[in-house]
Structure 1
Amino acid sequence: MSDDPGTVVVTTGHTACLPCLRSLGSRGIRTVVAGDDARTPEFASRFCDERVVTPPHDGDLLAYRDALLGLAARPDVRTLVPTREEDAYLLARYPDLFDRYIDTVSPPSAVLGRVHDRLRLARAAERAGVPVPETRPLGEVDDWSEPLVVKSRYNLLADAYLPDLDERSASQVKSVLHLEPDTPPDLDGLCRTYGHEPVAQEFVPTTEEYMVAALYDHGEPLATYQHRQLRGNTYLGGGGVYRRSAYVPQLDSVARRLLDELDYHGLACIEYMRRPETGEFLLTEINPRMWQSLPSTVRAGADFPYYYWLAATGRASEVECDYDIGVSSHLLKGELSHLLSVRRERSAYMARPSFLRRAAEIGVSCVRDPHFDYLRADDPGPFVRTVANYLRRS
């Protein structure tokens, strides 16, 4: 029997790709990085064994699919790690094509359709008996005095959810609009902006946001992890750019009840807000892929890239998840984005922080917790490439 464990394909979706390379590459698993830009920072990692430039994932979706299929068909490739919404969508949309070549641990279409649709996900949470902000189609709102935010109904705009779209088309609308109180919005204009009828969701004032990460195997949990988000991409929220590992039993219970209701299979990144008045955890969304803060997760000891590899290669029984509490790390470009949002963003419901005070807070936290997602002494290439790309665009 060959000692070669095989090859894994990792797509370059935000910062999740790099910890996958570092985790799997350090274990002797050959890594193929599939990215749509020859300058992608992950190509510069010493743990990247092979670089493949693919068609843009947000261009012709079928061309991107066929590029991934070409890699999956190689005899040495064992699995593909989904780091983008498009990856999870393609694995669910075309299972017969991918399953003939590789094994993956990703939600099937019946589950993914509920996860990608905020209305259906909210109904699932209600059936599970777990808290969720009131969520409804924008056109059903009749009281504009209550604090509301507008979001895309779907995590990914694609033909499986919006039949008028072409099969080759897929896009994301990440904009979250804080509505002015007592001011009815332009409904038709918002539908045009979002490309469909978006949802209106109850605004929850909170200073506590959490994430639960999980890997499930046909309804059974293999691994779970929690962190508290200390700062997001903007001062209004977004993905975590400064986080600290945690464990809250109540949060664990809420997340497991939801995933049980969904009969979940695959990766899940579940975002929560804590309601200050009651202490309950309210569901924000689920992302069915590796997550932006994965470097922090792995640093704490929860090695989800390796857990995924074990599950995808028939060794799920070997997954043993344990992690340290109180481990923090930063995404530096995310910290910069957060700081710039203080100048650029506004909300009818959230006070804008002082720019200088927030800059000082970021600086102090970087000194106190000098751990960073990209910057690592034994693998400096991705950080150097990121800086070079930024300077080139400036």
Structure 2
Amino acid sequence: MNNKAVILGCNYYIGLSAIRCLGVHGIHTVAVDYSSEHNYAADSKYCSERLSAPHYKNEKDDFVQFLIDYAKRQSVPPVLIPCHDSYVEVIDQHLEELKEYYLITQTEQGLWTNIMNKEILNEIAKEKGVLIPETVRVEEENFIEKIEENIKYPCIVKPTDSPAFVAIFRRKVFKVQNREELEAAIKKANDAGLEVIVQRIIPGFDDHMYTFDAYLNQESKVTHWVSCQKYRQFPINFGASVYTVQKYVPELYEIGAKFLEDIHYKGFAEIEFKKDAETGKFYLIEINARITTLNNMLNKVGVNFPYITYLELTKQEIGTKAIEHDTNIAFCYAYEDILAIKDYMKTGQLSIPQIIPTLFKKKTYAIWDWNDPKPAISFLKMMNSKMFSRLSKS
């Protein structure tokens, strides 16, 4: 297999998991990031090559040209695997140029961008008959009345462009309790030049969050899938997964596979759902169009999505596979899970007796791996450096 795998975004553990999933099969992995300072994923023993590229946002044209120039020097086209939403956006914007030099799962320009845009995704979901939380646009007539009569408080102010919102506010949404907080949240977003929508909060604790992780081949048919149940997030209630367990939920396949196939999706996708605690119905929350935080656990239960991607794009057999039983294997990002547990207990949402059983499940960790310890050591050094820097400024 001469095709290299170019991994975009290696300053986070998602890139690390992709490198490991490919490198363990002897694939030449290339870790690409805009800075060499914190890209601890590139310290993996499975990383074959590391490159510093122009910034994907501040120097977008130079970044795209950098990728093209690199691919031109290769004997065969590399496989391109983004591990962050911002890289997905850039690839989608320049898909026609990049697919001349790279092997990329998606072939329809604009599809990735559309499903990452929460407002457009809502419209697509409605059209396909998939439940979404009741939503009101800020510019609608009688906006406040619709919020108070239909959405009700508390509710969430949600960005249409999540990567930009998270980059500025370090959170996924604003939760508001009343009209005053709603107007303040909208003003914050407007001042930052970001569009937002307002949604009803689906009843249910964080353990009512589920994921449907799937691979769709170049005919847009689901060939591999796994479903999971979240238990803890950080920031709590509206954050990223820090403790999630593989859980077989056939209904998620029935909803998720049909939806992705109907929109002619190709490659890996993760749909996040929330199960309404009152009705039991599943609501689509968002779609991740790239390798996700759960990747290491998904590989552990038997579905190596980066490798499947690589095999198909290099014209090799991928077969089919679904995890149709409960493995009880968990994903844990220990660093943020500790912070989450602290906040859950502080707010009275979880107690010690509820937390203790989760500590004894078989786990896959975000960063630590006995067979590949160097990235974890680099991560700890990075965190210590940040801590001492904050202390010295205080």
Length-normalised TM-score, structure 1: 0.85
**Offset of 1:52 from its aligned partner?**
0.9
**Offset of 1:96 from its aligned partner?**
2.6
Residue aligning to 1:378: 371
Match of 1:353 among 343, 348, 354: 348
Residue aligning to 1:163: none
Counterpart amino acid of 1:200? V
Q: After TM superposition, list the pairs within 5 Å mapping 1:312-351 onto structure 2.
A: 312-315=313-316, 317-323=317-323, 325=326, 326-339=328-341, 341-342=343-344
**Offset of 1:99 from its aligned partner?**
1.5
Q: After TM superposition, list the pairs within 5 Å mapping 1:52-131 onto structure 2.
A: 52-76=51-75, 77-106=77-106, 108-131=108-131
Counterpart amino acid of 1:267? F
CA contact under 8 A between 1:310 and 1:318: conserved in structure 2? yes
Residue aligning to 2:255: 254
Match of 1:11 among 8, 11, 14: 8
For the structure 1 residues 152 and 307, does the alpha-carbon distance in structure 2 shift closer, same or farther, using more than 3 Å as the test?
A: same
CA contact under 8 A between 2:7 and 2:83: conserved in structure 1? yes
Is 1:151 matched up with 2:158? yes
Is 1:133 matched up with 2:140? no
Aligned mates of 1:237, 1:55 — CA distance in 2 = 32
Aligned mates of 1:177, 1:193 — CA distance in 2 = 15
Match of 2:20 among 22, 25, 45: 22
C-alpha deviations, 1:327-362, integer Å up to 9, x for none? 11211122134246559xxxxxxx92368x46x865
Stretch of structure 1 that moved more, 235-244 or 215-224: 215-224
Is 1:234 matched up with 2:235? yes
Count of aligned pairs: 370
Aligned mates of 2:191, 2:342 — CA distance in 1 = 24
Counterpart amino acid of 1:117? N
CA contact under 8 A between 1:31 and 1:48: conserved in structure 2? yes
For the structure 1 residues 28 and 206, does the alpha-carbon distance in structure 2 shift closer, same or farther, using more than 3 Å as the test?
A: same
For the structure 1 residues 266 and 191, does the alpha-carbon distance in structure 2 shift closer, same or farther, using more than 3 Å as the test?
A: same
**Offset of 1:269 from its aligned partner?**
1.4
**Offset of 1:107 from its aligned partner?**
5.8
CA contact under 8 A between 1:243 and 1:330: conserved in structure 2? yes
Residue aligning to 1:44: 43
Aligned mates of 2:337, 2:92 — CA distance in 1 = 34
CA contact under 8 A between 1:72 and 1:98: conserved in structure 2? no
**Offset of 1:21 from its aligned partner?**
1.4
Residue aligning to 2:176: 179
CA contact under 8 A between 1:72 and 1:79: conserved in structure 2? no
**Offset of 1:154 from its aligned partner?**
2.0
Aligned mates of 2:219, 2:162 — CA distance in 1 = 22
Residue aligning to 2:390: none
Secondary structure of the 1:105 match is: coil
CA contact under 8 A between 1:106 and 1:267: conserved in structure 2? no
**Offset of 1:298 from its aligned partner?**
0.9
Gap runs ≥5 in structure 1? 159-169, 344-350
Counterpart amino acid of 2:378? R
**Offset of 1:321 from its aligned partner?**
2.3
Secondary structure of the 2:340 match is: helix
Secondary structure of the 2:194 match is: coil
Secondary structure of the 2:279 match is: coil
**Offset of 1:35 from its aligned partner?**
1.9
Counterpart amino acid of 1:74? R
For the structure 1 residues 69 and 119, does the alpha-carbon distance in structure 2 shift closer, same or farther, using more than 3 Å as the test?
A: same
CA contact under 8 A between 1:136 and 1:200: conserved in structure 2? yes
For the structure 1 residues 233 and 108, does the alpha-carbon distance in structure 2 shift closer, same or farther, using more than 3 Å as the test?
A: farther
Aligned mates of 2:189, 2:255 — CA distance in 1 = 33
| Structure with higher RCO (Cα < 8 A, 6+ apart) | 1
For the structure 1 residues 135 and 73, does the alpha-carbon distance in structure 2 shift closer, same or farther, using more than 3 Å as the test?
A: farther
C-alpha deviations, 1:172-194, integer Å up to 9, x for none? 76441111234451476234245
**Offset of 1:290 from its aligned partner?**
0.7
C-alpha deviations, 1:269-298, integer Å up to 9, x for none? 111100011111101001111111111111
Secondary structure of the 2:296 match is: helix
Identity percentage over the alignment? Answer: 19
Secondary structure of the 1:132 match is: coil
Secondary structure of the 2:14 match is: helix
C-alpha deviations, 1:157-205, integer Å up to 9, x for none? 59xxxxxxxxxxx967644111123445147623424523311111112
- Give the RMSD, CA atoms, in angstroms: 2.6
Counterpart amino acid of 1:101? Y
For the structure 1 residues 368 and 9, does the alpha-carbon distance in structure 2 shift closer, same or farther, using more than 3 Å as the test?
A: same
Counterpart amino acid of 2:224? A
Counterpart amino acid of 1:122? N
